[in-house]
Amino acid sequence: MTPIITALRTVLLGLALVAGLAMPALAQLNAESRAVYQDWLKTANRAEEVIDARRASSAALETLRTELAGYRQNFLDARTDNGARIKTLEGQLAALGEPPAEGESEPEDIAQLRSSLEQQLKDLKVPRIVAEEAFSRANGLITEIDKIIRERRTRKLLERGPSPLNPENWPGAWRTLSRSAGSLLNETATRIGSATTAERIQNSLPALLLLLVISALLLLRGRPWAHAAGDYLRQFGSSGRGVWGFVVSLLEVILPFVGILLLTAAIDLSGILGFRGAVLLDHIPGWALLILSFHWLGNQLFSGRIDNDLVPVQEGRLNETRLMVDILAVILVLQDALSLMENIDNIPAEAHAVASFPLIMGAALVLLRLHRIGAKRRQQQSEDDTDEDGAIAAGANRVMTMVRRATYLLGFVSPVLAAFGYVNAAEALIYPAASTLALLAALLVLQRFLGDVYGWLSGKGSEARDSLFAVLIGFLLVTLALPLLALIWGARVADLTELWSRFLEGFQIGGTRISPTAFLTFAIVFAIGYALTRLVQGSLRNSLLPKTKIDPGGQNAITSGLGYVGIFLAAVVAISMAGLDLSSLAIVAGALSVGIGFGLQTIVSNFVSGIILLIERPVSKGDWIEVGGLMGYVRDISVRSTRIETFDRTDVIVPNSDLISGTVTNYTRGNTVGRVIVPVGVAYGTDPRKVEAVLNEIAKAHPMVLLNPAPTVVFQGFGADSLDFEIRAILRDVNWVLSVKSDLNYEIAKRFEEEGIEIPFMQRDIWIRNPEALAQAKAASSAEATAAAPAAAPPKPDLDDLQHDPDNDAEGEADADK
């Protein structure tokens, strides 16, 4: 944007604000809004000038960006003002109907009302229009500032400076660092020798002595006190020993840290430090916390106990590994102190490169050594994955192995980059890598602690470390750690706030803006509606409907239909409460419905069939049906399918469309009355009337057989072996048909035996037409067999053996086959 365009915009906006007529939108704002908007215009113009000049420092740009972000948030909130009133006015205008076409007229009172409503609607929309325009401008300015800062940081990261290996840079770096240290010492010596400082110390001597004594006690006795507190806490239960151990370890960090805070407070109260010393003193608590935290992480990761070791190392390397972690913390502190001194004394690039190279080399060597130690894991831990902490330990080892490999590579690359002069790039790789290792280690320790807390509260003990709760906690911790990880690797706080602002702003779909607030409102309202629907369904199913005379199928239809209606209403109310306008999606939904209809026609068909089943109820829950060769009871009718429980106690899932379009036999539709047919045969020569009378008596005597209509005995005909009869009776409950049939058969067998009625069985007579030919063939075969093996030949049967015994049907049929 050129300065000329900026100047023209400023002049035009100024004239518009003064006149108030050239821009009716601004003229319709109230005094307070107009004042805010004028301040915004001044800030925006100043921001455009700064962006065009590109001479402001990054710190100044960050300050300007923060100011613009505040305005942008205000404009974002103003875009939704008067939403309810605007919707009401739009509804009133819609009630008046379409405005008359050109050349037509409408009643005067309606015309005046329409004009008044349209004017009110314009007045309410003006602030939203102005806020929309200002929001877009603020968003664009912030984007430009972010681009400038990002380009500067990228250019600095890839900038090649003096090489720290060049001996010519060493003397100058030594003189610079010595001069900075000397300045610090001289300032401190001057302040100590000052009479003002002595008087200040004398006046605050009691407070200083108290701070020093408490600080010394915490630094010297903090660890024993922490262990004493742990012994006291373990009295509340041994099952929480992992929790108590974690608390003790935290106390070992907190108590010395408080002691350091008191010590720095005492030094600051004494006033013995100058400007440089005071700046360094402000950072000492942070450096102390960093060293204590790394030492604590080393003890937690490499505890030396099999049941509490998150990252196993080679035997005999435990103390060395902890020492490497402590050295890494010291290197990070020295690097931060060097950066602080550079900001105070404006250290040149040569001195910075020479002083930073040993720290980069030290950090790289520590990372390489940690990788070498961690690569040689204990054989017992690597092979045994079934111990009480196996799953968590295995997951931790996989994550740490992957990170170690990455840091192993960075341990080689960073010193090489620094040696060639890319010190900024080397620092941007090696120190974030070390901080990432510390962050992941803290996540592992925290995940295990929360798992121990859950195990203590639930009574599961150490088994809770492998539970689903531990996995979910790990996922949540990783998600929460992502912003910290981004900050470690160079992201600005402004970048994260920008992402959060974009997230809260949501996204536009048609005329509807989907924001997290709207989505959360939709989810909460729908969840409440869904819960109420299920509650009403349960009350109807268990309390109200069983007391009515409605059959079980009707009760199921009522509860299912109420569930569908309740869920639909919950979705509609949730959409309305969230302020989602889906009318703009009607065209898109109509276009997609064609493709969805073809792709999901089977599902839609089953859904519609399920609705028909619930309304028409040709099949209800509890019915005994037969469909597609399957027979059983209907146990559940859902949206897509129906579950049938067969007599084998197996569930068969039948699509609803098969029940609507196919042939279904319902044995208990409407009532449970059904017919039983019992066939029976008697021997020829038996009196048929006697048989009929006996069967009638048997049928009428059974309690499940209805006497109206009365059972009948049918003489079916003359069978091949018997006279065939059938008992045909109507049962009170057809579900008992098999039991009734069995009872009738038992009774028939008993009565026929008493009455001397014979129940025949199948008999056959076989006649052999040519026994002579069969005898000759058998004799010839026997002679050949005797000649071939006379010693082993079995005795030959006589011709009489071929005669058939009419009482043995099986042997007669075998002879006929021969």
Q: How many residues does the chain have?
A: 818
**What per-residue confidence (pLDDT) applies to 316?**
67
Give the end-to-end CA distance of the chain in Å, rounded to a whole number. Answer: 113
Q: What is the average pLDDT across 314-340?
A: 85
CA within 13 Å, CB half, 429: 24
> What is the residue-averaged pLDDT of the chain?
79
Q: What is the average pLDDT across 447-462?
A: 78
- Among 16-30, 115-129, 311-325, 459-473, the least confident range: 16-30
Residue with tokens 């639930």: 458
**What per-residue confidence (pLDDT) applies to 596?**
63
Residue with more model confidence, 70 or 791 = 70
pLDDT band at 713 (very low <50, low <70, confident <90, very high): very high
What the block records as the tokens of 434 is: 């070390």
Residue with more model confidence, 242 or 442 = 442
87-94 own/partner pairs: CB under 8 Å, 24+ apart: 89/117, 89/120, 89/121, 89/124, 90/121, 92/117, 93/117, 93/118, 93/121
**What per-residue confidence (pLDDT) applies to 513?**
66
Residue with more model confidence, 713 or 92 = 713
**What per-residue confidence (pLDDT) applies to 677?**
92
Residue with tokens 């877009």: 136
**What are the distances in angstroms from CA 273 to CA 129, 258, 695?**
57, 21, 120
Q: Tell me how far apart the alpha carbons of residues 255 and 270 are, in angstroms, rounded to a whole number.
A: 23
Q: What is the average pLDDT across 452-458?
A: 78
What the block records as the tokens of 816 is: 């006929």
**What per-residue confidence (pLDDT) applies to 714?**
93
Q: What is the average pLDDT across 132-146?
A: 88
- Residue 623's φ and ψ, nearest 5 degrees, are -75, 150
**What per-residue confidence (pLDDT) applies to 673?**
87
Residue with more model confidence, 34 or 489 = 489
**What per-residue confidence (pLDDT) applies to 261?**
92
CB neighbours of residue 4 within 10 Å: 8
Is residue 728 predicted with pLDDT exceeding 90? yes
**What per-residue confidence (pLDDT) applies to 589?**
59
Percent pLDDT > 70 in the chain is 80
Q: Tell me how far apart the alpha carbons of residues 601 and 590 are, in angstroms, rounded to a whole number.
A: 16
Is residue 387 predicted with pLDDT exceeding 70? no
Q: What is the average pLDDT across 10-36?
A: 47
Q: What is the pLDDT of residues 638-651, one digit of tens each?
A: 877 888 998 888 88
pLDDT band at 285 (very low <50, low <70, confident <90, very high): very high
| pTM summary value | 0.63
Is residue 2 predicted with pLDDT exceeding 60? no
Is residue 611 predicted with pLDDT exceeding 90? no
Residue with more model confidence, 81 or 247 = 247
- Residue 714's φ and ψ, nearest 5 degrees, are -110, 130
- Amino acid identity for residue 370 in this structure: L
Q: Is the dihedral of CA 137, 138, 139, 140 positive or negative?
A: positive
- Among 151-155, 417-421, 506-510, the least confident range: 506-510
For residues 72 and 135, is the Cβ–Cβ distance under 8 A? yes
Helix axis angle, 241-270 relative to 195-203, nearest 10°?
Answer: 130
Q: What is the average pLDDT across 522-551?
A: 86
**What per-residue confidence (pLDDT) applies to 350?**
87
Is residue 588 predicted with pLDDT exceeding 60? no
Q: What is the average pLDDT across 498-523?
A: 74
Q: Tell me how far apart the alpha carbons of residues 56 and 765 are, in angstroms, rounded to a whole number.
A: 121
pLDDT band at 729 (very low <50, low <70, confident <90, very high): very high
Is residue 760 predicted with pLDDT exceeding 60? yes
Is residue 405 predicted with pLDDT exceeding 80? no
Q: What is the pLDDT of residues 793-810, one digit of tens each?
A: 444 444 344 344 444 443
pLDDT band at 448 (very low <50, low <70, confident <90, very high): confident
Is residue 815 predicted with pLDDT exceeding 70? no
pLDDT band at 813 (very low <50, low <70, confident <90, very high): very low
**What per-residue confidence (pLDDT) applies to 590?**
62
Q: Three-state DSSP class for 501?
A: helix
Q: What is the pLDDT of residues 179-217, one digit of tens each?
A: 888 888 888 888 888 888 888 888 888 888 999 999 999
Is residue 745 predicted with pLDDT exceeding 90? yes
- The verdict on whether omega for the bond into residue 709 sits within 30 degrees of 0, i.e. cis, is yes
Residue 263, phi-psi category: left (phi > 0), alpha (psi -120 to 50), beta (remainder): alpha
Residue with more model confidence, 337 or 637 = 337
Is residue 296 predicted with pLDDT exceeding 50? yes
pLDDT band at 637 (very low <50, low <70, confident <90, very high): confident
Residue with more model confidence, 163 or 394 = 163
Q: What is the average pLDDT across 426-452?
A: 87
Is residue 558 predicted with pLDDT exceeding 90? no
Most confident segment among 280-284, 371-375, 559-563: 280-284
Q: Tell me how far apart the alpha carbons of residues 258 and 221 are, in angstroms, rounded to a whole number.
A: 12
**What per-residue confidence (pLDDT) applies to 87?**
77
**What per-residue confidence (pLDDT) applies to 715?**
92
Is residue 384 predicted with pLDDT exceeding 70? no
CB neighbours of residue 179 within 10 Å: 13
- Among 104-118, 156-170, 420-434, the least confident range: 104-118
Q: What is the average pLDDT across 687-705?
A: 91
- Among 5-14, 212-221, 611-620, the least confident range: 5-14
Is residue 105 predicted with pLDDT exceeding 80? no
Q: What is the average pLDDT across 271-297?
A: 89
**Assigned CATH topology for domain 674-755:** Alpha-Beta Plaits (3.30.70)
Is residue 818 predicted with pLDDT exceeding 50? no
